Amino acid sequence: MARILIVDDEAGIRRTLKDLMQMQGYEITEAAHGAEGLERLAEGPFDLVLCDMQMPVMDGMAFLKQARKTYPELPFIMLTAHATIERAVEATKEGAYDFVAKPPNLQHFIVAVRNALQAKKLKREHTRMSARLSRIDGDVPPLLGESQAIQRVKKLLERASPSEARILVTGEAGSGKELIAQWVHRLSDRSEAPFVAVNCAAIPSQLIESELFGHEKGSFTGAHKQHIGSFEQADGGTLFLDEVGDMSYTAQAKVLRALQESRIRRVGGSEDITVDVRVVCATNKDLQEAIQARTFRDDLFHRLAVITIESPPLRERPDDIPLLAEFFCDKLSKRNARTGKYFTKEALALLSSYPWRGNVRELHNAVERLIVLSEEDAITAEDVDLFTNPGSAPQDSVSHLMSQHSRIADFRDAAEALFLRHKMREYDGNISRMSEAIDLQRSNIYAKLKKYGIKD
């Protein structure tokens, strides 16, 4: 039940608003002026404040300013009998959620209250989810990165995970598709139920149906006992179908039926079993091309891809590489009994210059190799150069840039962005020194950093 504080010097207004809000199921506390309102807030917590603008002792604006210092997330709806655009703008600048003229249209007022409470709930949920995505949560690693590409993924996760919508995660091998699926589950209402992962590419086509739906004893040669399939194992939770593009056409038809009817039948069974499963899928294939080639069902695709989340390749977020490398270093140093290992600034810069065609998985393996093979605690650029072989030219090579861009304008921008990234690392973010060294005015540097999304 939401708690609302009504602050108004007119007892009749307070009584009217209190009756109206209690009819909506809210718990109400009253105050006659701003000073009393601050006392009531201290006794809180509250979910919303309905506040008059003109009051004795402490008026609404003074109360709003003072309260926002201590309770910055608390929404305010300001009320006044003397509504002007200037007062509305002033209240909004001070953080008020809404501004309502007296006497209010009751239906509109109820909607405004609901919207304010919903906005507070969404903001709190956003803060909670963002915090969880950036820390280790049980056995699920954090979704690390500050690049625009990974921020887009986090925003989609925050919005989509609490729903029941099916999600298709696309992206290259090793880019972190399963981690995204794990966070969909962890941020959903199903988080306490099972998360079951099935790699469709690793299971022979003749066994995929048994793996997904289970089988009865004696249903085929080698079926010596009953087997509970992945759909049943994930009942109430999330079923992750990795590399779903490799699933046989026959199995696709049965998965489609399971999604349509929420029922499955074990191989060799005679009865349908009801299951409650949220399905999240992943693929590194172009399913639209597979549909054209008639290797993937169009109707199944539309069932699975209600929401699509693209897992970005590591080469599109090079600024995240130092953060990932340091996280892996801390984790893998402990696992390999090499505590105390760390990367020098130059080593991180060199790691950031590689294309990492194997994406995060390749970086993870490279960090573990460096931890085991480097002799000193400090992992240097020389160690990286000696023990890391990404198999192709680094991202700052002319050949790599030429292969990535067909237009000269795009090539020029990519080269300039990489140059600025290297100089930012070289001068440790000191714009004054960098400006002098590269013979470019500070204002121009700031403009280019903003253009290319490079953090100061």
Is 392 within a domain? Answer: no
Question: Same domain, yes or no, for 37 and 180?
Answer: no
Identify the CATH number of the domain in which residue 404 sits: 1.10.10.60
We report the CATH number of the domain holding residue 86 as 3.40.50.2300
Supply the CATH number for residue 175's domain: 3.40.50.300
Phi, psi of 174 (to 5 degrees): 85, 5
Concatenating the DSSP letter of every residue in 368-390 gives: HHHHHH-SSSEE-HHHHHHH---
In a domain, 135, yes or no: no
Same domain, 407 and 281: no
In a domain, 274, yes or no: yes
Domain for residue 139, yes or no?
A: no
Q: Are residues 221 and 336 in the same domain?
A: no
- Of 285, 310, 335, the residue at which a domain comes to its end is 310
Q: Are residues 52 and 183 in the same domain?
A: no
- Is residue 134 one of the residues assigned to a domain? no
Residue 367's CATH number:
1.10.8.60
Between strands 273-274 and 263-264, the pairing is antiparallel
CA dist., res. 157 & res. 161, Å (int): 5
Same domain, 377 and 405: no
CA 428 from centroid of its chain's CA atoms: 29
Same domain membership, residue 320 and residue 260: no
Q: Which of 310, 343, 371 is the last residue of a domain?
A: 310
Contact between 143 and 132 under an 8 Å Cβ cutoff? The reply is no
pLDDT at 136 (0 to 100) = 46
Q: Range of 62's domain?
A: 3-127
Task: Say if residue 306 is in the same domain as residue 402.
Answer: no
Same domain, 445 and 409: yes
Mean pLDDT by 10 residues, the chain (456 residues): 89 89 90 91 87 86 87 86 68 80 81 86 63 57 88 92 95 93 92 91 85 87 84 93 92 92 89 92 94 94 95 92 94 91 92 89 93 92 81 51 65 79 82 88 87 72
Specify the pLDDT at position 393: 46
Between CA 253 and CA 255 the distance in angstroms is: 6
Q: Give the end of a domain, one of 310, 331, 366.
A: 310
Note whether residue 372 is domain-resident: yes
User: Do 242 and 190 sit in the same domain of this protein?
Assistant: yes
Q: Is 456 contained in some domain?
A: no
Split into its structural domains, the chain has a count of 4
3-state secondary structure of 80: strand
Question: Using CA of residue 232, residue 137, residue 321, residue 369, what is the dihedral sign?
Answer: negative
What does the alpha-carbon distance between residue 76 and residue 53 come to, in Å, rounded to a whole number? 11
- The verdict on residue 188 lying in a domain is yes
Same domain, residue pair 160 and 300? yes
Buried b (16+ CB within 10 A) or exposed e, 149-164: bbeebbebbbebbeee
Q: Are residues 420 and 374 in the same domain?
A: no
User: Are 303 and 189 contained in the same domain?
Assistant: yes
Q: Which residues of 18-71 form beta strands (DSSP E)?
A: 27-31, 48-52
